[in-house]
Amino acid sequence: MAAKSETNGATAHPVSSKVPAVAHPLAENADEIASNINYHAQFSPHFSPFKFEPEQAYYATAESVRDRLVQQWNETYLHFHKVDPKQTYYLSMEYLQGRALTNAIGNLNIQDAYAGALSKFGHELEEIAEQEKDAALGNGGLGRLASCFLDSMATLNLPAWGYGLRYRYGLFKQRITKEGQEETAEDWIEKFSPWEVVRHDIMFPVRFFGSVEVNPDGSRKWVGGEVVQALAYDVPIPGYKTKNTNSLRLWEAKASAKDFNLFQFNDGQYESAAALHSRAHQICAVLYPGDATENGKLLRLKQQFFLCSASLQDIIIRFKERRHGKESWKWSEFPSKVAVQLNDTHPTLAIPELMRLLLDEEGLGWDEAWDVTTRTIAYTNHTVLPEALEKWSQTVMWKLLPRHMEIIEEIDKRFIALIQATRLDLESKLPSIRILDNNPQKPVVRMANLCVVSAHAVNGVAQLHSDILKSELFADYVSIWPTKFQNKTNGITPRRWLRFCSPELSNIITKWLKTDSWVTNLDLLTGLRQFADNEDLQAEWVSAKMANKQRLVQYILQVTGVSIDPNSLFDIQVKRIHEYKRQLLNILGAIYRYKILKEISPEERKKTTPRTIMIGGKAFATYTNAKRIVRLVNDVGAVVNNDPEVNDYLKVVFVPNYNVSVAEILIPGSELSQHISTAGMEASGTSNMKFALNGCLIIGTLDGANVEIREEIGEENFFLFGATADEVPRLRKERENGLFKPDPQFEEAKQFIRSGVFGSYDYNPLLESLEGNSGYGRGDYFLVGYDFCTYMEAQAKVDEVYRNRKRWAKMSILSTAGSGKFSSDRTISQYAKEIWNIEECRIP
């Protein structure tokens, strides 16, 4: 730390006498890097002088790394501009980037140099990295997948670009109190982010409301309403050990000075004077604002359109710039240079917006504009849940986007004509497969249907999910366009999710494989299989896992005050809190375990497998049952962890404010992970892949990517339970008809909650959802009761296997060895070849 000055208590400037403050933007060695850090501390100041505490050191260090990235970034952009390759543009409402500092210096392969540079100031790299706040641009797997994909696109040297929104307050920051979850605004850019570069020259108008003007020649124009400006903020996305550095462009909504009414302001009408500024500010304030009111629905729709319109205007401008100087070009070339991928239904409005821009702004005819649009757009489906397949009120759409509703009506009309002309056998199904649902009580636009009708490719994200899409959700469309539908099993980046978050385990893998090439070719992990029985490897493996467990022990103590035993089995479930993900099944199992521990003798307890159950994730602010589950986990933990009879054998911990940085501590320290959704309801999951890659064993159902993980790592290394997807409809029907006889253990667990042992809170509404009155109007829709018995049997098997530590170590090694398929590099290579038709464009 910097020394105190003798005058006025200020601190002297950071070891400036030892380290010269000299700009070295492309520094390689620790001395030059230290000089560059000191240069930024003095000449890019964001704080009062004379301070160089960890926070100031973080910002100066980040700006030093950014210097290096900007050089590569500019070279990448210029190279793409010169070569003019076909480029992918990934549109997503969410990105969960995690901390950028460790990722950037890891991908640039300069960790040691930066650690050495910071040591000259008396700081450790790990301590400085912890000053960074996670960018609050996403919530769950959808956003983390998008970020893994960006990492792989850059690492594979693919010409690609991400587009999103720059949310100031994120979804929310989760606080846990005695009342359960509380939501407060995220403060990730309360100061500023050193990783983003505002592009003041890149700004596009985005219109809302207004009307459609018909010109004498029959052409149409959207006019009036209100217009806000979309300002670009760019974040560099470096590839691993490559110069290619791609962009994530985030849009901020602004109003201009001319939209400020000085007369009204001076007249004391302060709010009216800045009304458009206020409305623009709302657009990028919060991820997924509550939509129970019409204003909430309008704001969500505004967000989605704002992303689509700004991004497409940017894409078209870039396409035209790269045509500049060419004597003749046609719009039919656009799909040979541009691939747009919609990450779920949130960016669906890109379809009518691209049509509008081509029709109204560029003067194309319908057929030509439709051909360009359909060959450009591809759609990834992420869910079979009815509530997540967006449907927007036609009334709200006509109000906000009148020209787009005209275009959607025309797409719908032409789709109906196609069916009536070519597929009379499907005419009776038109009410459900057309885009517009004209139910007079509640007319809506079905966004998933619009995507499927308009995109040239539609993909699911795990084999089981894609099969369900083809056989159930989109079966009729498959019969019309059989070649349109594909599977692209999700993946994760091995850089963030093993190489950087678990260096101890990574070094052991590199040592035994005699290469670190696995970091970009994850299939090489299969080479570990031949050593799975080797006692030396097992000892090293267990030691690395223990180091990660010890790190997690410290973290849990720091954030929850709960002391956990590193020798207990670490059992972790972290993901968005939702009834279909069945955190409720997990906590009911923990409750039953606690009940049994209370009933058996102290001698019998000593024979049990000690376990620490950790659950984390955010419940959406208006999702009452999910918030009840969070409260239940905390209430159970408060009782169990303070019970001296059993707390040596069982702890239950709720990990607050789960995000990427928390995951980077939890996942390497985990030994068992729960992926226990009702079969057929999880599209894929990617946290299951992260856990498996880190040598964690999975207890789970045959759902999402669990199916493929189990195939890859071996059935004997996976703890399977529960109904299968094809059994679920029948079981729900039986449950509805009162034919289900619950397991006595299940009834005991519920009764234990009702007894008041975990406090006086009324859990009856939550327990009734397991009986006869769930939010879906049918009891136990997610089959918690049906699966409880086999779940407890699988957990007993876990306890038994864990007692044989050699066997567990071997299974752990085989879990990592079988994870090669789940690299996002493989997924992105498949997208590039089979959907986008783009190729490597490496910076020379």
Residue of 120, 484, 581, 618 with catalytic role:
581
Name the helix (H) or strand (E) containing 207: strand 197-208
Is the distance from CB of 149 to CB of 163 less than 8 angstroms? Answer: no
Q: Is 120 a catalytic residue?
A: no
Strand partners, 247: 161, 236
Tokens of 443: 């007319």
- Distance of alpha carbon 576 from alpha carbon 145, whole angstroms: 14
Rounded to whole angstroms, the Cα distance separating 158 from 1 reads 43
Tokens of 204: 């596009």
For the CA atoms of 97, 98, 100, 101, the dihedral, rounded to the nearest 10 degrees, stands at -170
Handedness of CA 37, 38, 44, 49 (dihedral sign): positive
Three-state SS for 775? coil
Catalytic residue among 576, 578, 611, 651: 576
Kindly list the distances between the CA atom of residue 168 and the CA atoms of 72, 101, 252, 370, in Å, as whole numbers in the listed order. Answer: 28, 20, 9, 36
CA–CA gap between residue 347 and residue 310 (Å, rounded):
12
The H or E element containing residue 88 is strand 87-91
Q: Say how far apart CA 232 and CA 235 lie, in whole Å.
A: 10
Q: Which of 111, 130, 146 is nearest to 54 (CA)?
A: 130
Q: Whole-angstrom distance between the N-terminal and C-terminal Cα of the chain? A: 42
Give the rounded distance of the alpha carbon of 538 from its chain centre.
33
Whether residue 422 contacts residue 363, with contact meaning beta carbons closer than 8 Å, is answered with: no
- Alpha-helical regions (H) of 803-843: 805-817, 824-831
Which spans in 156-210 are helix H? none
Beta 338-343 vs 377-380: how paired, if at all? parallel
Whether residue 576 lies in the annotated active site? yes
CB 687 within 8 A of CB 141: yes
409 with 423: CB under 8 angstroms?
no
Strand partners, 674: 699
- Cβ atoms of residues 843 and 76 within 8 Å: yes
- CA distance linking residue 317 with residue 323, whole number of Å: 10
Choose, from 66, 382, 549, 627, the residue flagged as catalytic: 382
Pick from 345, 74, 36, 371: which is nearest to 234 by CA? 74
Distances (CA, A) of 56 to 35, 43, 51, 538, 801: 15, 13, 7, 42, 48
Question: How far apart (Å, rounded) are the C-alpha atoms in residues 500 and 523?
Answer: 18
Answer whether 94's CB lies under 8 Å from 146's CB. Answer: yes
- Distance separating alpha carbons of residues 456 and 480, to the nearest angstrom: 13
Q: DSSP strand E in 398-438: where? A: 436-437
Residue whose C-alpha is closest to residue 381's, from 460, 451, 457: 460
In the block, residue with structure tokens 């993901």: 575
The verdict on whether 403 is a catalytic residue reads no
Q: Within a 10 A sphere around the Cβ of 8, how many other Cβ atoms?
A: 6
Closest by CA position to 76, among listed 316, 200, 251, 238:
238
**Catalytic pick among 520, 686, 701, 827:** 686
- How far is C-alpha 837 from the geometric centre of its chain's CA atoms? 25
Beta partners for residue 228, in sequence order: 206
Residue type, 58: Y
Nearest to 671 by CA among 717, 605, 604, 638: 717
Please give the torsion angle defined by the CA atoms of residues 43, 48, 49 and 51, in that order, rounded to the nearest 10 degrees.
Answer: -110
404 part of the active site: no
Residues involved in catalysis: 382, 575-576, 581, 686, 690
